[in-house]
Amino acid sequence: MAADSAEYIKHHLTNLTFGKHPEEGWKFAENAEEIATMGFWAINVDSIAWSVGLGVVFCVLFGLAAGRATAGVPGGLQNAVEMIVEFIDDTVSGIFRHRNTLIAPMALTIFVWVFLMNLMDLVPVDWIPEAAKAAGVHHMKIVPSTDPNITLGMALAVFLLILYYSVKVKGVWGFLKELLCHPFPWYLAPVNLVLEGVTLLAKPVSLGLRLFGNLYAGEMIFILIALMYGGLVLGVFGTVLHWAWAMFHVLIITLQAFIFAVLTVVYLAQAHDVEEDH
């Protein structure tokens, strides 16, 4: 029973991976051991596909809302979209005091896209993986935010924007001065560089790992609850736990999307700050 449970958990936590096998060439991995042999350049196809697909869903929904917008009484979709847009706009206005037309749309995109990725965690854990298995697909993870490649990839994009705007707004020397002359005087530049460098690098790492850790833990709990569906008593108890955790998890998936968006805005606001702003 323990071996079956371990295999069940391992199967549900393994991505559909495409890469180069040392002996068999390019192929889809059939198990975790093959994934380990494929190395760095292996691609988690399911994470990418679900991420892109949910991004398309986001664009379609908001495009439909924009196309059907009316000055009269709004429909359900338009009302929901307007509430989200106003909420994000108010949040960004309270944090970002500079002029940059990219920030608010980017925060909206991050919030909705991450929320949709997180929302997939509420789909029963067996439905899509087992359907994929029946169709001959060995693995299928449908929650992209439980893949560190996705969360850290998004965080890396934010980090590149931080560097870009830090140099654009402050200039190369201004950015270097910030790294070399704070928090101690300039003659302690090596110490300052270490401290400020760690602070700078911690931003994308914490941004990506926070989202990954929370959603991975949530997915693991759903999988552990699913293991209880083996008898009448445990099945009833598991159902109660499943619904209780699902309702609580709605808060988690929304909060994590909001935190990712807000921290992105905060980090970019810091990148726009110059000494005169303090």
Pairing of strands 25-28, 43-44: unpaired
d(CA 249, CA 257): 12
Given the residues 5, 79, 93, 206, the one annotated as active site: 206
* Contact (CB, 8 A) for 69 and 78: yes
Residue 5: active-site member: no
Residue 206: active-site member: yes
Given the residues 15, 47, 166, 214, the one annotated as active site: 214
Residue 210: active-site member: yes
Q: What is the 3-state secondary structure (H, E, C) of 144-196?
A: HHHCHHHHHHHHHHHHHHHHHHHHHHHHHHHHHHHHHCCCCCHHHHHHHHHHH
Which residue(s) pair with 134 in the sheet? none
d(CA 245, CA 278): 44
* Contact (CB, 8 A) for 127 and 142: no
- Residues acting as catalytic residues: 206, 210, 214
